[in-house]
Every structure is written in C-alpha cells, then in structure tokens.
C-alpha cells in the first residue's frame, strides 16, 4: 500500500457503490499523441542514454488517477517519455481505483501490442497475473512503487521501488536535531495495517533506539488517520486532550495535518516541530504561522512524484535497447528543512494549488497544467 493511494480508501466506498455503473465503463484508455518527433532521426547529444535506437510505443497503466499526486506523477512520466524521440506513441489509462478495470487496462494494452508498459499496481498482488501475462506476451513490463509480489525477470522485467524506511530515518535524524535528544513524538499514519506507515515507523525506530530520550506517545506504530483531513483533525484533537506535552509530530501526509492546526489554537498549544512529506499547503501555512509570530519548525522529504521518470527510463531502455539504469530504487531525499535551510528552506508557491508538490521536477507552469486535469 502506498501513500499515493491515500484517496483510494476514501474512494473505495464510492467505487463499490458505483460498481454497477462503472462496470459498463470499459477499458477506456485515453491515448495521447506521440511525444517525440524526428522519426528516424539519428541520436544526438540531447537524447539521454536510456533512449535506445529501436522505435517503441509506451503505456502507463495507472491503478488510480484521481488525485493531485497522481496527476503530477503522470505528467512527470509523460515529460520523461517525451525526451526520447524513439517513443513514437505514449498511452495512458486510469484504473479509477477499480482492480477489475486496472487489470483490463493492462490486458488492453497488451492486446494493442504496446512495446513497453509502466504500471502502478495499486491492488498489489491482485495485479500479478495481469502483469505476468503481459510479460509472457513479450511486453516490457515495469511495475513501480507498490510491490505486486512475484519476481523480476519471471513475472515482469523490473520493479522500480522506494524505501519508505529511509524516509523514517531522515525524519528521525532531524527529530534528534530539533528536539535535542529529548521529547514526546506523535506519529500519524494512513489506514490501519498499511505497509508504508509501518516502514516509516520502523525506519524512525532504527535511529531512535540510540536516543532513548525521544519517545513515541499515542498509538504505535502510528495513529490511524486514513490520510483523511477530517479524521486527522479528530485524532489530533484527541491526542492534544490526552497528552499535555507533545514535542513533535511525524506524518506521511502533511496536507492533512495542516487542516488540524486550528485544533492547536483551540487547545492553546503551540504547533510543535513537524517532520513529513513536502506539500505546498503545509509550506504556505508554515510561512503564515511564521509571519504571525507563531512559527514552528518543519522538515520534509520529497514526495517523489519524479519516481515515475525512473520507471519510464527503465521501461524505455529495456524496450528500445538503451542503457538500463543500474539503481532501480528511487531514493528518499530531504527537501525542506526550516532549521538548516538545507537542501532548501521551506517553500510556498501561492500561484499553485494547495495540493501541488514543489519537490516535483516539473516546471510550475507544467505542474499547474497537470493539476488542471
């Protein structure tokens, strides 16, 4: 389960409700035109090494496409594919959080005869048979971010993943610095039993076991918020009532936390240091709080929208005969740090929507376009 399914559980209810109607939707994969021009043009200096000589068609089969993170991520994938002129056609499909549809999308692309396919397998293992049959049919198949189980080279070509534990390690290192080795920390996570929030907690614990002064309070490994702003607000209210001393908060969905800032005001409490993923809203709220003299410390790791670029590179390289990237794990990177301003001070772009990701590799204009849908 990945962070970017955060709207998925919320949607699931609706998906179930509207199943009868949605089932008629078919596999409506929306094709978007070719990205590279220059048919047969010789490789020039601008062509990246992962772009090989063979002409290919590329598809991105998204398990779910209906939130800001997915839209930005999809735009990053398309942007990356456009760097390789030998990708003659780029196709996209949105599984709409419906496993049936996601499977039929993959089957549709296979039948259509695409050369390479990048897949966000939201449903995890349920997607493995579809991936395997695409792989067996000779399509270069690269799932990313959510593990579908199975084995690279047997069920699909490569799996591009990321290590959420690493995010936890980065947060914990910052906590040690921000709290000076002592304090009570609350960890907020997604739905119960999701692996991402668990991994992040494990990552934090691997650092904090050497710093016994820093303790987790409330539920461990994490307080269940379902990545829902209203639920987060209720959970934070409860925590504030129960614990007179909260010195820091860690969470994998900063935007949801931002909506509970008024709860601190109601309880007459200061907003403690926060370690999370980057989100425009959070950055802007940070600035607002700072300007009004109620500032707090903030540390973020990148939201990794650019991870889809790596998946595209791997798929295109394998299919077109380019140089396949060696490292197939997208690194967790620090993005903003209000204490050291390294690698960046906290950012806020009021011209972009609250749910924009300033760690994206798209230009603000590209991102604004992507978020318009």
Partner 1 sequence: MTQNTSGNGPLPAATDDATEDQSWLRRRISGPATAILAATVLLFVASAILQPESLRGSSLAGMLPFAAVLAIVAVGQTLVIQQGGIDLSVPGFMSLTVVIVTHYPAGDSGKLPVAVLGAFVIAALGGLASGLLVSRVGVTSIVVTLGMNALLYGAVLGISGGIPRSTTQALRDIATAKAVGVPMTVVLAVIITAIVGFCIKRTVVGRRFEAIGSSNQAARAIGLPVRRHQLAAYVAAALLYCTAGVLLAGVVSAPSAFQGDTYLLPSVAAVVLGGTSLLGGRGSVVASAVAALFLSQLAQVLLTSGVNSAVRNLVEAFALAVGVAIYSVDWNRVLSTLNVRERSAAGASTGA
Question: Under the rule (CB under 8 A), what is the footprint of partner 1?
Answer: 7, 10-11, 13-14, 17-18, 20-22, 65-68, 70-71, 192, 218-219, 224, 228-231, 233-242, 255-256, 258-259, 261-263, 266-268, 281, 353-355, 371-373
Q: How far is the CB of 91 from partner 1 (least distance, A)?
A: 20
Please identify, using beta-carbon distances, which residue of 249 and 258 lies nearer to partner 1: 258
Which tokens sit at 90? 């780029």
Least distance (Å) between residue 203 CB and partner 1: 21
Report the residue number, 67 or 320, with the smaller CB distance to partner 1: 67
| Ramachandran assignment for 62, one of left (phi > 0), alpha (psi -120 to 50 degrees), beta (any other) | beta
Smaller CB separation from partner 1, 57 or 223: 223
Q: How far is the CB of 196 from partner 1 (least distance, A)?
A: 16
Q: How far is the CB of 104 from partner 1 (least distance, A)?
A: 19
**In whole angstroms, how close is the CB of 268 to partner 1 at the nearest point?**
7
Give min distance, CB of 370 to partner 1, in A: 10
Residue closer to partner 1, measured from CB, 65 or 272:
65
CB of residue 113 to partner 1, shortest distance in Å = 30
* C-alpha to C-alpha distances, 286 to 140, 258, 328, nearest whole angstrom: 44, 9, 34
3-state secondary structure the chain: CCHHHCHHHHHHHHHHHCHHHHHHHCCCCEEECCCCCCCCCCCCCCCCCCCCCCCEEEEEEECCCCCHHHHHHHHHHHHHHCCCCCEEEEEEEECCCCHHHHHHHHHHHHHHCCCEEEEECCCHHHHHHHHHHHHHCCCEEEEECCCCCCCECCCECCCEEECHHHHHHHHHHHHHHHHCCCEEEEEEECCCCCHHHHHHHHHHHHHHCCCCCEEEECCCCCEECCCCHHHHHHHHHHHHHHCCCCCEEEECCHHHHHCCHHHHHHCCCCCCCEEEECCHHHHHHHHHHHHCCCCCCEEEECCCCCHHHHHHHHHHHHHHCCCCCCCCEECCCEEEECCCCCCCCCCCCCCCCCCCCCCCCCCHHHHHHHHCC
User: Which of 336, 362, 355, 354 is CA-nearest to residue 171?
Assistant: 336
Q: Could you tell me the CA-to-CA distances from 365 to 280, 356, 357, 372 in Å, in that order?
A: 15, 11, 12, 11
Least separation, in Å, of the C-beta of 312 and partner 1?
A: 22
Comparing CB distances to partner 1, the nearer of 129 and 353 is 353
Q: 192 or 323, CB closer to partner 1? A: 192
Shortest Å distance, C-beta 40 to partner 1:
37
Q: Which is nearer to partner 1, 7 or 361 (CB)?
A: 7
Give the nearest distance from C-beta 305 to partner 1 in angstroms. 14
Comparison of 245 and 268: residue with beta carbon closer to partner 1: 268
Peptide bond into 343 cis (omega under 30): yes
């Amino acid at each position: 389960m990945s962070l970017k399914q955060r709207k998925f559980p919320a949607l699931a209810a609706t998906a179930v409700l509207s199943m009868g109607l949605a089932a008629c939707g078919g596999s409506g994969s929306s094709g978007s035109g070719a990205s590279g021009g220059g048919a047969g043009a010789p490789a020039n200096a601008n062509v990246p090494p992962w772009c090989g000589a063979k002409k290919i068609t590329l598809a991105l089969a998204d398990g779910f496409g209906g939130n800001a993170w997915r839209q930005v991520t999809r735009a990053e994938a398309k942007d990356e594919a456009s760097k390789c002129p030998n990708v003659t056609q780029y196709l996209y499909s949105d599984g709409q959080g419906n496993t049936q549809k996601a499977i039929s999308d993959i089957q549709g692309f296979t039948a259509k005869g695409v050369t390479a396919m990048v897949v966000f397998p939201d449903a995890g293992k349920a997607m493995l048979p579809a991936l395997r049959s695409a792989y067996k049919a000779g399509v270069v198949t690269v799932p990313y971010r959510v593990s579908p189980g199975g084995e690279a080279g047997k069920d699909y070509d490569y799996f591009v993943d990321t290590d959420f534990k690493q995010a936890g390690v980065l947060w914990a290192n910052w906590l040690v610095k921000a709290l000076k080795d002592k304090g009570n920390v609350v960890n907020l996570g997604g739905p119960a039993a999701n692996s991402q929030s668990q991994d992040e907690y494990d990552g934090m614990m691997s650092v904090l076991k050497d710093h016994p002064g820093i303790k987790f309070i409330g539920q461990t490994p994490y307080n269940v918020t379902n990545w829902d702003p209203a639920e987060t607000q209720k959970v934070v209210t409860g925590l504030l009532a129960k614990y007179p001393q909260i010195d820091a908060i860690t969470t994998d969905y900063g935007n949801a936390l931002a909506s509970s800032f008024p709860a601190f005001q109601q309880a007459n409490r200061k907003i403690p240091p926060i370690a999370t993923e980057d989100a425009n809203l959070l950055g802007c709220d940070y600035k607002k709080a700072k300007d009004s003299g109620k500032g707090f410390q903030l540390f973020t790791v990148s939201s990794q929208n650019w991870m889809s670029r790596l998946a595209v590179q791997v798929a295109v390289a394998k299919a077109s005969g380019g140089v396949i990237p060696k490292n197939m794990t997208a690194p967790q990177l620090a993005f903003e740090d209000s204490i050291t301003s390294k690698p960046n001070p906290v950012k806020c772009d009021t011209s972009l929507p609250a749910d924009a990701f300033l760690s994206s590799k798209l230009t603000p204009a590209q991102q604004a376009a992507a978020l318009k849908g």
